[in-house]
Amino acid sequence: MSTASTDPLIGRLLDDRYVIRSRIARGGMATVYVATDKRLERRVAIKVMHGHLADDNAFKKRFDQEARSAARLAHPNVVNVFDQGQDSELAYLVMEYLPGITLRDLLKTQGALTPEQTLEISEAVLSGLSAAHSEHIVHRDMKPENILLADDGRIKLGDFGLARAASANTTTGQALLGTIAYLSPELVTKGIADERSDIYAFGIVMYEMITGVQPFTGEQPMQIAYQHANDDVPLPSLVSQNSSPELDALVRWATQRDPAKRPPDAKTLLDEVRHVRSGASFATTRMHTSILPQAEYPITGATTVIPNGTTIMPEAEQPVVAAPPVAGSIETVRHTAAKRRVRGTWTFFGIALLTVALVTGGWWFGGGPGSMVTVADVREQPVADATATLEDLTLTVAVEECSSLDIPIGNVTTVTPEPGTRVARDSGVTLCVSTGPRSLAVPPLVGTTLDEAKAAIDSAGFVFGEVLEERFDSEVPAGVLLAALDRDGNELPPELNEQSIINAIVSAGPLPYVNGLSVEDATKLITSSGLTYDSSLDIESYSSDVDKGKVLQLVGITEPMRKGDPIGLETSQGPELFAVPDVSGQTIREAIETLTAAGFAPTTKVVERVAGVDVWSIATVKSTNPAAGEKLEKGTTIELKSAD
């Protein structure tokens, strides 16, 4: 089964303009697809709202307003919004498509980032967020999933306005955990947010970039919400050596529980990030005096596992006093303590209300639709068995196709979310089912050098096997491929399965030229060329052109001739000699015919005709020079001497 067969939107045309090509991701509020804009002939990303949100008129109205607000943001660090519309039951948003990964992906693979990476990403994100805040747009969903790291190096902030548009709706379980980790205290206790709420959320993101972990965690949303409302975000340096006083100060300033003590907007925090990135020391940063005054700060010890049954209210830690209070400060301290008691009372009531809401919904989160289940490990199982197992857990299963070298066709290769993850009932789980290895195009290889062929084979997704043989070829230079074959020795088809082995037959260049050489020199050249000299193949032949004992040519050549094959030499015996015929007593004309037939060149000083008489037919031969019986090379001149 393919994505196209399980997702009805694949291949659909929205508003007679956008062709849905493939699904990128599915979230709590929407599914994101890659699409083609037919009108402008470009790839775009389309976020299609889930049906239960698209049917909500209040949501659609807010979504329309926020989409228009986001579209006003033209900034290099903000994902561009191109269009927004409604096609039948589908509400959608058309955005810039950025091939790459999210910050969440980077944190999963790398863990904690370097200070340089943290500051570079922070500057880019805050730059985009500053543009939004200047337009009075509050993001309200700052988290690593919404920070995009493009393949070309660009860093962009996405999903503007969606959190606000969805504020009238709620999610549960894991989806809520994914957002509540970045909620500001005022959102937890009062349900209100402004630009400073974005600053708090990004302070949590900075903490996570520096340390690789979130500052507050818990299995239930209430536990995390309580920590946001009651606990200060710890300094990153207490968790990671990656931090520095400057980074600690930035995080501490951005994550103050009191919104009034945070930077008022992204531009203010951006200026400080740039200040730190420029190389300013902690002592020269403006945060040092504005948000880190001389005061009492607790020393936090090593992380401790809290045993079961222990209350979640932490014991007060013993503070280290920076300096003794001066005269007149006691009343100030008492006044501050009183204000904290009042504020703590209201915070308590806020958390209590949140607790009541969660307890009242205990059935929802415990045994009802909102309860959590663990994603089973169904990898390598047949898709039918895996689907049945997950559906028994009240999970919704989607199936996609994936190529795999190792997993048999029809079995599950990957499960998303990862097996062992706790998710809400009715959550979606995507199974990637093996279609076997991918079929890849075979690159042109014949006529390339061996090194070029190896590189082409590797980059195309195949494996170079071996050079099966080196053949001598009079036209193809040494080292160039004559043929590329599969592992069974067959010619390659246009496509092969990925990681298939490709072998090569390579030219050894022309056979060595040994004509006219001595036997010793010829055998050396044969050996250096990779051939095997076999004297049993040697023959001798007469030659009028090559001196006796010299090589005429190679013998024993087969087709094809490979390195290591045996070969012999044909050597010259010199010219072949023939006996001069005895023509004495013959007429000169008869003698000329006899010698010519024997391959010699007869000549005489006797005049052929005198006064019309044919002398050669009358005069007879007395002797020849050279004499009859001598062995001579054909073509030798023989002089005839007359008896008369």
423-444 confidence digits (pLDDT tens): 888 889 999 999 899 889 999 9
9's tokens: 């939107």
Higher pLDDT, 320 or 547: 547
71 in a structural domain: yes
Is 20:12 a contact under the CB 8 Å cutoff?
yes
Taking Cα atoms as reference points, which of 577, 602, 599, 580 lies closest to residue 591?
Answer: 602
Taking Cα atoms as reference points, which of 606, 629, 634, 630 lies closest to residue 618?
Answer: 606
Q: What is the pLDDT of residues 169-205, one digit of tens each?
A: 434 333 333 478 999 999 888 878 899 999 999 999 9
How far is Cα 194 from Cα 187, in angstroms, rounded to an integer?
Answer: 9
pLDDT for 293:
34
Q: What is the pLDDT of residues 49-78, one digit of tens each?
A: 887 776 677 677 767 776 777 777 889 999
610 in a structural domain: yes
How far is Cα 23 from Cα 399, in angstroms, rounded to an integer?
Answer: 12
pLDDT for 571:
97
pLDDT for 576:
92
Q: What is the pLDDT of residues 24-53, one digit of tens each?
A: 887 767 889 999 999 999 999 999 988 777
Is 247:202 a contact under the CB 8 Å cutoff?
no
pLDDT for 356:
46
As to burial, measured by CB atoms within 10 angstroms (0-12 exposed, 13-18 middle, 19+ buried), residue 172 is buried
313 in a structural domain: no
Contacts with 19 (C-beta within 8 Å, 6 or more apart), sequence order: 11, 12, 13, 35, 36, 38
Is 383:415 a contact under the CB 8 Å cutoff?
no
Q: Report, as an integer, the average pLDDT of 369-380.
A: 81
Indicate if 257 and 274 belong to the same structural domain.
yes
Q: Is the pLDDT of residue 291 over 90?
A: no
Indicate if 233 and 128 belong to the same structural domain.
yes
Indicate if 374 and 282 belong to the same structural domain.
no
The percent of residues in the chain predicted with pLDDT above 90, rounded, is 65
pLDDT for 526:
97
Indicate if 272 and 129 belong to the same structural domain.
yes
Q: Is the pLDDT of residue 124 over 70?
A: yes
- Provide the 8-state DSSP code for 477: P
Indicate if 256 and 373 belong to the same structural domain.
no
52 in a structural domain: yes
Q: Crossing angle, helix 245-254 and helix 115-134, to 10 degrees? A: 30
CATH number of the domain to which 523 belongs? 3.30.10.20
- What is the bridge-based pairing of β-strands 147-150 and 100-102? antiparallel
Q: Report, as an integer, the average pLDDT of 456-479.
A: 96
Question: Please, what's the largest Cα pairwise distance for the chain?
Answer: 165
Is 6:22 a contact under the CB 8 Å cutoff?
no
Q: Which residues pair with 373 in a beta bridge?
A: 423
Indicate if 152 and 244 belong to the same structural domain.
yes
Domain boundary among 382, 406, 434: 434
317 in a structural domain: no
Element housing 82 (H / E) = strand 81-87
Neighbours of 479 (CB within 10 A): 15
Indicate if 117 and 250 belong to the same structural domain.
yes
Indicate if 7 and 72 belong to the same structural domain.
yes
117 in a structural domain: yes
Indicate if 144 and 273 belong to the same structural domain.
yes
Element housing 387 (H / E) = helix 383-392
How far is Cα 65 from Cα 522, in angstroms, rounded to an integer?
Answer: 90
Q: Is the pLDDT of residue 407 over 80?
A: yes
Which of 187-191, 269-273, 326-330, 352-356 shows the lowest per-residue confidence on average (mean pLDDT)? 326-330
CATH number of the domain to which 54 belongs? 3.30.200.20
Give the pLDDT band (50/70/90) at residue 603: very high
Q: What is the pLDDT of residues 507-545, one digit of tens each?
A: 999 999 999 999 999 999 999 999 999 999 999 999 989
Q: Is the pLDDT of residue 316 over 90?
A: no
How far is Cα 228 from Cα 188, in angstroms, rounded to an integer?
Answer: 8
pLDDT for 371:
57
129's tokens: 């967020």
386 in a structural domain: yes
Q: Report, as an integer, the average pLDDT of 122-127.
A: 98
569's tokens: 């030499």
Taking Cα atoms as reference points, which of 274, 189, 259, 270 lies closest to residue 226?
Answer: 189
Indicate if 188 and 274 belong to the same structural domain.
yes
Contacts with 82 (C-beta within 8 Å, 6 or more apart), sequence order: 37, 44, 71, 94, 95, 96
Is 499:462 a contact under the CB 8 Å cutoff?
yes
Q: Is the pLDDT of residue 296 over 70?
A: no
501 in a structural domain: yes
Catalytic residues: 141
How far is Cα 202 from Cα 183, in angstroms, rounded to an integer?
Answer: 10
Q: How far is CA 549 from the centre of its chain?
A: 65
Q: Crossing angle, helix 245-254 and helix 195-211, to 10 degrees? A: 150
Give the pLDDT band (50/70/90) at residue 500: very high
Indicate if 404 and 497 belong to the same structural domain.
no
CATH number of the domain to which 204 belongs? 1.10.510.10
- Provide the 8-state DSSP code for 78: B
pLDDT for 598:
95
Taking Cα atoms as reference points, which of 543, 638, 636 lies closest to residue 592?
Answer: 638
Mean pLDDT score across all residues of the chain: 83
pLDDT for 115:
96
Is 173:219 a contact under the CB 8 Å cutoff?
no
Q: E strands along 220-333, which residues?
A: 297-298, 319-320
How far is Cα 553 from Cα 535, in angstroms, rounded to an integer?
Answer: 13
Record the pTM: 0.47
Q: Report, as an integer, the average pLDDT of 225-233.
A: 93
Which of 58-72, 360-374, 397-411, 418-432 shows the lowest per-residue confidence on average (mean pLDDT)? 360-374
Neighbours of 402 (CB within 10 A): 15
**What is the number of structural domains in the chain?**
6
Domain range for 615 is: 577-642
Indicate if 90 and 155 belong to the same structural domain.
no
Taking Cα atoms as reference points, which of 337, 296, 290 lies closest to residue 317?
Answer: 296
How far is Cα 214 from Cα 115, in angstroms, rounded to an integer?
Answer: 17
Q: E strands along 268-320, which residues?
A: 297-298, 319-320
pLDDT for 339:
44
Contacts with 353 (C-beta within 8 Å, 6 or more apart), sequence order: none
